[in-house]
Amino acid sequence: KKTAPLPDDIKSMKGTTPIVSLTAYTTPMARMMDGVCDFALVGDSVGMVLHGMPSTLGVTMEMMILHGQAVARGLTTTMLVIDMPFGSYEESPKQAFANAARIMRETGAAAVKLEGGRHMAETIAFLVARGVPVMAHIGLTPQSINTLGGYKVQGRADQADALLADARAVADAGAFSVVLEKVPATLADRITAEISIPTIGIGASVGCDGQILVVDDMLGLFTAFKPKFVKRYATLGADGEAAIRAYADEVRARSFPAAEHTFSDKAPGQ
């Protein structure tokens, strides 16, 4: 019987097979990608995508665990990774371990993801040494939006060496992979060539070892805004709006429900 890959299996895909991943927040969405994606990420983007929050800063441990449990119920052969929310890991390695352990214990996730490069290396090493596989996330790190000064491209020009140093630091600390968000393609390619762990690109490069997108973005379900790096593979939001309008029209015209949706007095049990 096929089982989900482990963080080490994902790591060993570098240089062999492109790693396919999407975010997921609910059981039905997890079922849609089960066995198709190599891993599913319960991203803290859940706050913006499903809860209408203005940023990821208000996302809590309880939200990550609740959505993590929902996604876990929909996965059998795809690995589950869960984001550590803002404020749950930055203070100290001990704080990070307590919260990472809680996420893994209460959801069954195989790994956690956290944002930060060199300054999080000590924490990543602390977690990995204690049984918590870590996916790192550098470049545009949305939890730091107030210090980064907006959702802009990271690592351009004289910032490039610093981002490469971040990538090296998280790899050396034992992360099994690293998300590169919104960085120039040439820099993403350089990082991918120079570090030993897989790079997972979002707004990065086709040369990354894998790709991730927010599932609601690529399905056209989240339409409040569309970053340049999003490709819409479907228009479920527009389809949903049209369906809701059709339903409303039919209710007002008394053409729904039709005979096939209602019950006669005769056949019991139907």
> Using CB under 6 A, which of the segments 42-50, 95-103, 151-159, 248-256 binds ligand KIV?
42-50
- Verify binding: residue 44, ligand KIV, rule CB under 6 A: yes
Q: What is the DSSP letter of 38?
A: S
Q: Find the binding residues for Na ion in span 25-44 (CB under 5 A).
A: 43-44
241 counts as catalytic? no
Residue 179 is a binding residue for ligand KIV (CB under 6 A): yes
d(CA 212, CA 112) in angstroms, rounded, equals: 15
9 marked among binding-site residues: no
**What phi, psi does 128 have (nearest 5°)?**
-60, -40
- Nearest one of 135, 144, 142 to 167, comparing CA atoms: 135
State the number of binding residues for ligand KIV (CB under 6 A): 11
Residue in this structure with the two tokens 């990271």, named with its chain if needed: 154
d(CA 76, CA 84): 22
Is 260 among the annotated ligand-binding positions? no
The first and second tokens of residue 251, run together, are 């209710």
Residue with tokens 């999003």: 230
Going by the DSSP 8-state scheme, the letter that residue 26 receives in this structure is S
Candidates 83, 166, 209, 216; binder of ligand KIV (CB under 6 A) is 83
Sort strands 134-139 and 19-23 into parallel, antiparallel or unpaired: unpaired
**Exactly one of 191, 214, 219, 221 binds ligand KIV (CB under 6 A); which one?**
214
Confirm whether residue 115 is marked as ligand binding. Answer: yes
DSSP secondary structure code for residue 14 in this structure: T
CB nearer to ligand KIV: pick between 79 and 258: 79
Residues labelled catalytic: 181
Chain positions contacting ligand KIV, by CB under 6 A: 23, 41, 43-45, 83, 137, 179, 202, 212, 214
| Known binding-site positions | 44-45, 83, 113, 115
- Under the rule (CB under 5 A), what is the footprint of Na ion? 43-44, 83
Residues placed in the known binding site for Mg(2+):
44, 83, 115
